[in-house]
A and B are shown apart, each in its own frame.
Chain A
């Protein structure tokens, strides 16, 4: 059973703080993704990584950075949190080269920036 875990379920931070959101998957997946979900906007891709130390910008990378030093861990960093980054953040992972192509999601982190 694939397991994707995220470090926090709920997080409250202040404007200007640096925020780390951690995601770990235990199935040796190559691809990992960070999304944010906002009402009426669906899931929007922030960054993705298709292998260790590789990262690509998604649709809304501004204000975010990522780190993939190990295959199982993909971190999302908010260098200086702002109130418009209050959202639900979802991490997902997927393996290459199979017929499945489904993404496995973590439980999500609800971040509130005050």
Chain B
């Protein structure tokens, strides 16, 4: 059964701290791993990772994938109160007949950044 595990489930830090969020997975026919940020409404896309060892960066956020050990990390440096959100990891496995991907979502990490 496909599975995505995120840790920690909840994290409280102060502004300026650096955080590392973890996502490990077991997915049949892995194709991609996606990170989303969810505040009050629907998730917004952050990164897509398909290759091991290649870091993706966007401002203070960065992410990397290890396909051998089946995990990814999301780093946020110099955190701000606006980073407070639930961070979701989703892993895409190839559908039968190579017809696109099905995504399995983890439970999310709730990050709270205090002033």
Contact = CB atoms under 8 A, between A and B. Distances in A.
Contacts of B92: 101
Given A31-B100, A106-B42, A43 B88 contact: yes
Interface in B14-45: 31-32, 34, 41-45
A94 B36 CA distance: 15
Interface stretch (A10-18, A44-52, A63-71, A75-83): A44-52
B88 A96 contact: no
A16 B99 CA distance: 36
Contacts of B108: 42
Nearest to A30: B100
A14 to B, nearest CB: 26
Interface residues of A, number: 27
A31 B94 CA distance: 13
B100 A50 contact: yes
Interface in A66-114: 90, 94, 96, 100-108
Contacts of B80: none
A45 B34 contact: no
A40 B89 CA distance: 14
Contacts of A34: none
A59 B31 CA distance: 19
Given A42-B88, A42-B108, A108-B42, A103 B95 contact: no
B101 interface: yes
A102 B37 CA distance: 13
Contact of B42 (A45, A59, A107): A107
A59 to B, nearest CB: 8
A50 B102 CA distance: 10
A45 B93 CA distance: 13
14 contacts: A40-B107, A42-B108, A45-B102, A45-B105, A48-B102, A50-B99, A56-B102, A90-B43, A94-B100, A101-B101, A103-B34, A103-B45, A103-B103, A105-B42
Closest 7 pairs (CB-CB, A-B): A105-B42, A42-B107, A43-B105, A102-B45, A101-B32, A42-B105, A50-B100
